[in-house]
Amino acid sequence: MAEFVRLEVDNGVATIRLDRPKMNALNAQVQEEFHDAAQAARKDDDIRAVVIYGGERVFAAGADVKEMAELSYAEMAVKSMDLHRCFNAVAAIPKPTIAAVTGYALGGGCELAMCADFRVSGESAKWGQPEILLGIIPGAGGTQRLPRLVGPAKAKDIIFSGRFVDAAEALSIGLVDKVVPDAEVYDAAVAWARTFVGGPAAALRAAKEAVDRGLEVDLPTGLDIERVLFAALFATEDQKNGMRSFVENGPGKASFVGR
């Protein structure tokens, strides 16, 4: 049984729940537990969408600085690979993922939220990459995922300054996708996740893979990725059900089985 990270499943929606008082600092143990939870969510076919949640008070205020402060270069060279292993496992969950963010999403917390497909933010939440104030740079994807979301100039502004970004600005620049009252963050994320539960799981997985892999390559290569994944879906039951339903009953009436 994990100590700080729980995987809870309810009617097709999984919640990966971080609970390490007081500020959900992402130490080595949390990273390992998050990796294991992400792997479990990936493998469980009954899970159709995933919410990542840090609780009502705080999402995650960053890495455990006390744990890192006296590390040598050689030690961090190893530990940084473990950090990326954790975050990449979250990003690679082949199902729709939504980060439900209250309080602070700073440093590693912001990087963790950016591993999700979508982000729901509380009105009073604060976002940021303040690593520069510690004499370092983001080390769990911040320099790569943030510019892909908000563009390079805005990402440099946030990373170079280390400043906090409020929810309104985060929404306006594309760092978050929805802002709701603080008390409604988790429910809003779960409600969004439930919209995917009855969908065609293989097609959703292929869509996520096509977008994510396509962003890393040139356009012709991305189009080839899309073409192969598109054709592969014609081997699924959901494609047959979806197209037959369209022909017989019109759009939007298909029932999918997830295969």
Report the amino acid identity of residue 197: V
Q: What DSSP designation does 196 have?
A: T
pLDDT digits (tens, 9 = 90+) for 232-258: 999 999 999 999 999 999 888 888 988
Helices 219-232 and 201-214, axial angle in degrees (round to 10): 170
In the chain, CATH 3.90.226.10 covers: 5-194
Domain 5-194, CATH: 3.90.226.10
In the chain, CATH 1.10.12.10 covers: 201-249
Band (38; pLDDT cuts 50, 70, 90): very high
| Rounded mean pLDDT, 35-41 | 97
Q: Which pLDDT value is given to residue 66?
A: 86
Q: Which pLDDT value is given to residue 68?
A: 86
Query: What's the pTM?
Result: 0.94
pLDDT digits (tens, 9 = 90+) for 134-144: 999 999 999 99
CB 23 within 8 A of CB 104: yes
Q: State the sign of the Cα–Cα–Cα–Cα dihedral 191, 193, 197, 203.
A: positive
**Is pLDDT above 90 for 69?**
no
Q: Which of 33, 56, 70, 131 is catalytic?
A: 131
**Distances from the Cα of 138 to the Cα of 14, 74, 141, 145, angstroms:** 28, 18, 7, 11
Which residues fall within 8 angstroms of residue 235, CB to CB, at 6 or more apart?
A: none
Q: Which of 111, 184, 209, 237 is catalytic?
A: 111
Q: Which pLDDT value is given to residue 252?
A: 83
| Rounded mean pLDDT, 155-163 | 98
Q: Which pLDDT value is given to residue 100?
A: 98
CB 51 within 8 A of CB 87: no
User: Which of 191, 61, 41 has the alpha carbon at shortest distance from 113?
Assistant: 61
**Is pLDDT above 90 for 221?**
yes
Give the domain 201-249 fold. Answer: Lyase 2-enoyl-coa Hydratase; Chain  A, domain 2 (1.10.12)
Identify whether 131 is a catalytic site residue: yes
Helical ranges in the chain per DSSP H: 28-43, 65-68, 73-91, 108-114, 142-150, 152-161, 167-173, 185-194, 201-214, 219-232, 237-249
Q: Which pLDDT value is given to residue 258?
A: 85
**Is pLDDT above 80 for 1?**
no
pLDDT digits (tens, 9 = 90+) for 72-117: 999 999 989 999 999 999 999 999 999 999 999 999 999 999 999 9
CB 102 within 8 A of CB 59: yes
Radius of gyration over every alpha carbon of the chain, rounded to an integer in angstroms: 19
Identify whether 216 is a catalytic site residue: no
Band (31; pLDDT cuts 50, 70, 90): very high
If you search the block for the tokens 């890393």, which residue do you land on?
A: 216
Band (65; pLDDT cuts 50, 70, 90): confident
